[in-house]
Each structure stands twice: as C-alpha cells, then as structure tokens.
Structure 1
C-alpha cells in the first residue's frame, strides 16, 4: 500500500542558470530552422562557459543546409539569433555578455544513415528518430495538474525573473529554488523547507537578498503553507555574485527532471531542448503528458503515469503502459487499448500533426518547465490542452 503522509521535494532553475542558457540557445536554433522549413531536422547541443558559446550537432532543411553546405546567409542568422537569446535572458556581465562572448558553430549535416531510417518513403511511414522510452504524468494536486512541489518551485523563479525584467537591479539572471512539502492523506498541506539561491548585485548581504525573496515565496505558496516551523535557506553559501556560464559551464539537456515532473514521476532519460519534433524524445514525451493530463482532467483518476516506447526507424509504438496509482475509475487495460487511437496511433507523424508541433514554438519551453503551462494561441504548449476529456469520459 502506498504511503499517504510523507515529505517530497522538487527543484527548479531559472532561465539564467548555465544549463538553461544552453537549452534556450538550442531551442532558439530549433525555432529558427522550423521557421524556414517545418520539416527541418535539428539536433543542436550547446556548451556555455566564461565568455563562450559553442554549438554542435546535426541538421538538415531547405534554406538551412543543402547539398552539403550552409544556405547563403544562414550562418550569420544563427549567430544573431543566439546573441539575441542571451540578451533576452539578461546577461551583460564581464564574464558573460551577449554582445562580446566568443561564438563557435560546429553544426553540420545530418547523417545519411539516420535520414534513411527515419524519413518516410514509398510504402514506409516516417519512423521514430531513435529508440527510447517516454513518460507522461498528471496529478490533480494543483490546478495545472502538476506536482505541487515543482509547480511552486517554478513559480518562485518566474516571479523573481519578472521582478528582474521589470527593473529590479539587485537580482541577476542565475537562480535556483527548492520546495519541500508535507503531504497528508496524499495532498500537500504545508511547506517544511524552502531553498532559494539567486545571483545578486555586488555588495548585497544574505539579509538583503532574503528581504527580496521571502515575500515572493510567501505570495506564491497557498495561504497557510508557510508556518513558524518552515525552514528557510536563502543564498546559504553567503555570496552569489558570480553566476551563469561565468560561474559554471552549461550544457543542453542537463535539467531533464526540472523540465518534466520534479522527480514525482519516472523519466525515460531523453532531453527535449535542441531537438525537432520528429525526435520522439520530445514529441512522444509531449504526447504522453497530453494523454495523462486528459485522463486526470476527465476525472478518470487522481494521478496517471503513462509510458510509450519506440524503435528507431519504426513508426508504430512498441508498447503503452498506464498506471493510475490505485486512483482509477476506469480499467488501465481499457486506456491502454484506446488512448493511442485518440492521437492517430501514436506514430511520430501522427503526434506532430495532432499537436501541431512543426512550428517555431520551442524557445519558450526552455525554462520553467515544459509541462503545466497554458496552451497558447499560436500553438505553443498544445500538449497542455484538455480537448480529449469528452471522448475519455465516454469510455468510463
């Protein structure tokens, strides 16, 4: 029997965390290429360090990489887009400045072996870009159907970023948060520990930083969650003036638990950022979240974990597994039989078409989570829609 009373913790990192700078740059490249060719293939990895950004990976697409070479003008567009992304985050520091960092681009053409296996051809549907397992999760403990510990960790950092972008000079881009909640009868009831570390202007004390951070946390968490027993750690190292890529190197895809469910659900291991939507690491993980969220939104369970698996070059999923954690009002077997039919069978192309993923909508996903966000008018976060609810209720 599962426990109903326990502590659980999740963390988040800000848009200025060095790994998130790398994710943002990689997804900026995805958006740039998809804006030129909706069928572009992109696998872009980014390294950030003191005053340096390095791109590597494989790409293909009309107006991008053709006949073994860059299309005219595209290399300059890439660098311009990368610098604009870093500027938008807010880095204008001696050790990392959007205008002066050294930039190296080692992107190159996609392997023909991969292309043959993945591309659609006569008598063959588009195959998965790699083998792998993907998970989706939803829980009714928050309105966005996400784990509360992660939802609040994200909100704290988004609020601090809003203050910074709004002109608060004391705050710098790099930050981390961590929220520990006590669950009673399976639901979060109070915060037992709050950890926030944020890069700050020179000369500030821990007390100065705490005076900025504590009101934000208290406003984000539900009334009554902060008690006299809540343990606070605000900038526990004492000083956090050197941050971002100058303080630590950053790499694409190193914050996969922050990107997904904060440790409350399994993760297949694949990162999202820098990958076009033919890569099932990304698109199938979005489909898993979409299905799991709709199951919970339909009232068929309080919690739902869903797994899909794929083989490289093969269109049809190898398996589907649904776990309702003992909260289901419908058979898990029924869901396993019916869910994929609601999204065209779960093939890579069917997922992309159902969710409208061949659009430049990915840079915005690079910080504060890929899930638990509001669907947007231009197709962003389409996997957060709950438009399958009526069809799912009919199965019960």
Structure 2
C-alpha cells in the first residue's frame, strides 16, 4: 500500500437535484412502512421500489409497490410536497406548493414476488429481491470507522445545512456540493490540501468572497484541528455565481449519487442504488449488512481496515459468496474472518432484515450526508452502524 498520497471525495447536500429525488423516493418507502401496520399489513409484506425524476417545477414518480390501499396518490403527493418544503425549496423554478407532481406507481411484478416471498409454493424461504454484488468497508482512520475524505465532506455540508434550517444562514439556498482532498502520510490522514464548496445563494449578486465568508467557519469547524494550513487551497463557488439551484438548474434522478452515499470512492461499490427500495432489495439491505460486518471487524481489532463483498441471486436466500479483504492489516487470516462472519450473522435477506430490524420507516433520514458513518438512532435508524457483533466475531475466529 502507498504510504503518502492525496485522496479526494465529494458530498452533495439534501438540496442537490439528485438528493431531492432520493429524499422523495425514501419518503415513499417510509410512508408504506408507517401506514402498513395501521391497515393490518405485516411489515414483512411491504414492498416499495420508487424512482423519482425532478426538473423545473416538475416531479415524476414511477415504480412498483405493495401495501395498504390507504396510501393513495393524494397521500403520496402530500408527502412529496412536505419533503420539498422541508428541504427548503420556495423558488420560482421549484416550489413545494406549485410544482406539478405526477405519480406513476403500480403493483409489484408477480414474477418478482414469486422469487422473494417465502409464502410462494416455489420458495420455502424469502429470497433476494435481485441478483448483484454488495460491498461494505471500514477503516480506523476516523472514530466513526469511515474514510476521512468522505466523512469530512459530509460534515461540512451537514453543519451548513443545520445552520440554514436554524435560520442562521438565510442567504444560503438548499443546493450545495463539497469536495475534500486529504493528505495521507504513512497511511494516515494528516491534513487537507484542497477544499471545494459550491453553495447556492439566495441573493443574486453575492460574490464568491461573500459566500466564502458565510461557509468558511463551518468548514473550519468540521475539520480536525491543524488540518487546514497556509498550504490549503480553497475553491468557493469557483464559477463565480450559484443563484439558480436545485432541479430548476439541473434535472435530478434517484440513485445517481451512490459513491457519495457510500465511501467516496475509497472502497468498491456493487453498482446498486439504495434510495427508494424496501429492505427485500439486497442492493440496500445487504450493503447495509456488509458495512455493519466490516465495521465490526475493525471495531473488534481484527484489522485496521476491511472490505467485505456479498453476492446474491434473485429468489435465492443464501449469499453466493462472502469475501473479506483486510488489505494487509489483518491480525487474523482473511479466510478465518470470512468463516467467522458466516457464523456470526445470518446473511440471508430475511436474516439481515431481522438482525438489523429494517422493516421500519427509517429511510428518509439516510437520503443525504451518507448512509454510513452515522450515529445509530434510538428508534432503529442506522442500526447497521452499531458495533454489537464484535464479541460474536471474536468468538468465531
């Protein structure tokens, strides 16, 4: 492994066009998980796969669902408008009240259902909702066991967003992007070489320097002491103006920010997006499980960093393969860790959903600032960030 190098990751805010779409798609998943039990539907039977397109004053939602009849198009539209309002869009080209919302959801395919539902005569056990490969990753370079570049890129935007929602930064709009280039020495992050923040402003004639005055304090607060030096290069609104933002400035789609959602390019990604999918879709649930296991491997002291790959086939319950790579940092052989993983956790789709308690309305909160490196919530959100598998892994190596 290289000892000294630069590595860069980016983040985007909740007001980025693609993130607006991720939020809407996940709000619909949450809606089905909230309303299903009220209508007497077992949460295990809820299905949602929602894709969203957003452009100038237009939102189009398509996909497949299975759930209570109480979830009407009017209900969905109200949830969509509430999400856009919460993000903060009240501009002429994209407004929560006036945007045209088109809903094109229909029932889940029976052909897919027969491979997933355990109740089907062809399937004794719940199968994976699709084929695919999923990756999880963890590294001890931050307390959250995340790669430093993506973790701090998220933190910068999250701090600005919190200030904007609190009314402290009224001149800043919802749409923004950040990018952090971290200097590594002897394999450890030690500082920041380049910082990029492009932030929408609501006063049209604001200059880049004026935007920098607003955002720089949050950048400095987000980064560790001593990481910013006189050698750090700043790029704040490098185009000079960012007044038109959100879906009015650039069309958005669900699932286009999968590297932002995961590890910022520091680890592989299987290709599947997360947002808009219920927990039968292993693109989401198995990626969460892979992060959970990788994080627990590092938390257990079995390695300084770990990549875990899982593979599935549609309609098949057991994972086709479990692969662990500790990148030369393992205290135990990788093949022994693989066996410990298989013994410590049931990695079938149903086993993952049960272990991580995923049949809940916990997904809208994941749609911005990363699905990983977050603090577990009391209601079960971000359960895959817990380190409660440590003892089981240690017992089985």
TM-score of Structure 1 vs Structure 2, range by shorter chain: over 0.9
Map of 1:165-204 to 2, 5 A cutoff? 165-167=165-167, 168-201=169-202, 202-204=204-206
TM-score normalised to the size of structure 2?
A: 0.96
The alignment status of 1:99 with 2:100, answered yes or no, reads no
The residue aligned with 1:152 is 152
Return the offset for 1:109.
0.8
Map of 1:112-123 to 2, 5 A cutoff? 112-121=110-119
Return the offset for 1:227.
0.8
Map of 1:329-368 to 2, 5 A cutoff? 329-344=331-346, 346-368=347-369
Say if 1:116 and 1:190 are closer, same or farther in 2 by CA, change over 3 A: same
In the alignment, the residues of structure 1 paired with residue 187 and residue 252 of structure 2 have an alpha-carbon distance, to the nearest angstrom, of 36
Name the SS for the 2:259 alignment partner: helix
The residue aligned with 2:72 is 74
Aligned residues of 2:35 and 2:70 also touching (Cα < 8 A): no
Q: 2:53 aligns with which of 41, 47, 63?
A: 47
Aligned residues of 2:300 and 2:391 also touching (Cα < 8 A): yes
List alignment gaps of at least 5 residues for structure 1: 64-70
The residue aligned with 1:233 is 235
List alignment gaps of at least 5 residues for structure 2: 37-42
Q: Deviations over 1:38-86 (max 9, x none)?
A: 221111000000001000011112x1xxxxxxx2562211011110011
The residue aligned with 2:299 is 297
In the alignment, the residues of structure 2 paired with residue 72 and residue 301 of structure 1 have an alpha-carbon distance, to the nearest angstrom, of 49
The residue aligned with 2:290 is 288
The alignment status of 1:133 with 2:133, answered yes or no, reads yes
Return the offset for 1:163.
1.2
Aligned residues of 2:184 and 2:191 also touching (Cα < 8 A): yes
Name the SS for the 1:149 alignment partner: helix
The residue aligned with 2:248 is 246
In the alignment, the residues of structure 1 paired with residue 230 and residue 70 of structure 2 have an alpha-carbon distance, to the nearest angstrom, of 62
Return the offset for 1:395.
3.9
In the alignment, the residues of structure 2 paired with residue 114 and residue 95 of structure 1 have an alpha-carbon distance, to the nearest angstrom, of 38
The residue aligned with 1:15 is 14
Map of 1:253-332 to 2, 5 A cutoff? 253-332=255-334
Say if 1:237 and 1:117 are closer, same or farther in 2 by CA, change over 3 A: same
Return the offset for 1:340.
2.5
Q: Deviations over 1:215-246 (max 9, x none)?
A: 11111111111111111100000000000000
Q: Deviations over 1:234-285 (max 9, x none)?
A: 0000000000000000000000000000000000000000000000000000
In the alignment, the residues of structure 1 paired with residue 61 and residue 344 of structure 2 have an alpha-carbon distance, to the nearest angstrom, of 38
The residue aligned with 2:216 is 214
Name the SS for the 2:332 alignment partner: coil
Name the SS for the 1:357 alignment partner: coil
Q: Deviations over 1:19-50 (max 9, x none)?
A: 00000000000000011232211110000000
Aligned residues of 2:261 and 2:371 also touching (Cα < 8 A): yes
Say if 1:320 and 1:72 are closer, same or farther in 2 by CA, change over 3 A: closer
Q: 2:82 aligns with which of 81, 84, 109?
A: 84
Say if 1:191 and 1:73 are closer, same or farther in 2 by CA, change over 3 A: closer
The residue aligned with 2:39 is none
In the alignment, the residues of structure 2 paired with residue 57 and residue 76 of structure 1 have an alpha-carbon distance, to the nearest angstrom, of 16
Name the SS for the 1:394 alignment partner: helix
Q: Deviations over 1:151-171 (max 9, x none)?
A: 100000001101111112111
Q: Which segment drifts farther, 211-220 or 254-263?
A: 211-220
Name the SS for the 2:82 alignment partner: helix
